Amino acid sequence: MLSRWLDNSFSSIVKKNVTTLTAARLSTNACYRFTPPFVAIIAKGFNVSLSEIGIALTVSEFSGLLSPFIGRFVDRLSRRVAMLAGLFGISFGALLAAVSPNLIGFTIGVTMISVTKNFFDLGMSGWIADHVAYEKRGRIIGLTEISWALGLLIGVSGMGIITALFSWRAGFAAGAIGVLISTSFIASRIKTEPHEVSSRIADDGVRLSGRAWLVVATMFATMCASQCIFITFGAWLDDEFGFGALGIAAVGFSFGLVELYASVTSASKTDTWGKEISIAVGALIMVPGGLVLAVVSHNLVLGLLALMVYILGFEFAVVSMLPLATHLVPKRPGSGLGFVIGAGTLGRGVMSFIATRAYESNHSIAMPALIGAISALVAALLMFSYYRRGGLVHTV
């Protein structure tokens, strides 16, 4: 279905599998993204405070510090094995979260989702890097990244409806089943290619250049900005306007539409505009969205509009950053992407604690929104600095 977006310069194997990979990643993103919008409902289920759930998510996100090491490990596996290991781990983590008797068990479950999702994401990104030249990678990654938006639009919304009808535990269980179904498709469609492992093991250059760390720092700041909103907007809708699980799912659905638009736009524009410029533009779009939300947080319509602008900028920036990340260490895409993903999850981990505390301090999303706007501005300045220093050096 998605292959119609790819011209004849893309190989037949890419066209054949782009839809399968995107659908599988949709299921993984749904499990990964389910907790933040429903964090207040989950907290009530365990009879704990919002900030206590925030600590659980902080532990989960700090597992992202393992991403650089996972990236190096994944580069020594076949892409198929890495993706399948990730899918099995995510489904098990979601089931563990669903049946957890206490917050400790829940933390272990969502942490397993976070850790093993790296295996799938890095394996998939490595597969793309194996088959698509850097100059065209923005389009293919932009297409597969609609799974992030669809994970919210379809996956989290569906899990939210199940939560409203039954419980958040049933929502996690449904997500686990979806990932297991995806596993069967990946196992049957993606094959290990003979050249994969030997050529990557022979290359031991896994270090980032000096200015490449600016890309890592940009992802950290961007994810700090996103987590400020994603972990608090559900509680904001519940506390300020009385939204329940179904209402939060409906809002999440609308956000998914915005993210889908941003992903498709990135797929068509990022390679033309340049990765660095696209990232900076996306981050700058987030700034006014966050500032306006901080001011109008007591108005539902204006607040949601500001949130949509914020999410639009975030999605465009992150989707544009991924093809750049896969080329930071050209012969080892998993290693470069691992550093960037690790920085992103670290940013989410830091803000999972800070944003929930900021929200609870005045029972408003205004302070998290302000912190998010500042973080987005820092991300834009970091990427501008990277661009001014020469950006990515293309290595053949």
Do residues 338 and 74 lie in contact, with contact meaning Cβ atoms separated by under 8 Å?
yes
Tell whether the model's pLDDT for residue 395 goes beyond 50.
no
Residue given tokens 């750049």 in the structure block: 324
Has residue 394 been placed in a domain?
Answer: no
Q: What is the DSSP-derived secondary structure letter of residue 208?
A: P
Q: Are 228 and 314 in contact (CB under 8 A)?
A: no
- Residue 6 resides in a domain: no
* Number of structural domains the chain divides into: 1
Question: Residue 280 falls within a domain, yes or no?
Answer: yes
Residues 35-45, mean pLDDT to the nearest whole number: 87
Rounded CA separation 299/295 (Å)? 9
What number is the average pLDDT over the span 154-173? 93
Sign of CA dihedral 82, 88, 92, 95: positive
The tens digit of pLDDT for each residue in 260-314 reads: 888 788 777 777 788 889 999 999 999 999 999 999 999 999 999 999 999 999 9
Whether 175 is covered by a domain: the verdict is yes
Render 135-180 in DSSP notation, one character per residue.
HHHHHHHHHHTHHHHHIIIIIIHHHHHHHHHT-HHHHHHHHHHHHH
The structure tokens 């990643």 sit at: 25
pTM to 2 decimal places: 0.73
Percent of the chain residues topping a pLDDT of 70: 91
pLDDT for the residue 202: 46
CA 349 – CA 308 distance, rounded (Å): 23
| Residue 140: CATH number of its domain | 1.20.1250.20
Note the pLDDT tens digit of each residue in 113-128.
Answer: 988 998 898 888 888 8
In a domain, 210, yes or no: yes
Is residue 134 domain-resident? yes
pLDDT band at 206 (very low <50, low <70, confident <90, very high): low
Q: Across residues 354-371, what is the average pLDDT?
A: 90
Domain membership of residue 21 as a residue range? 14-388
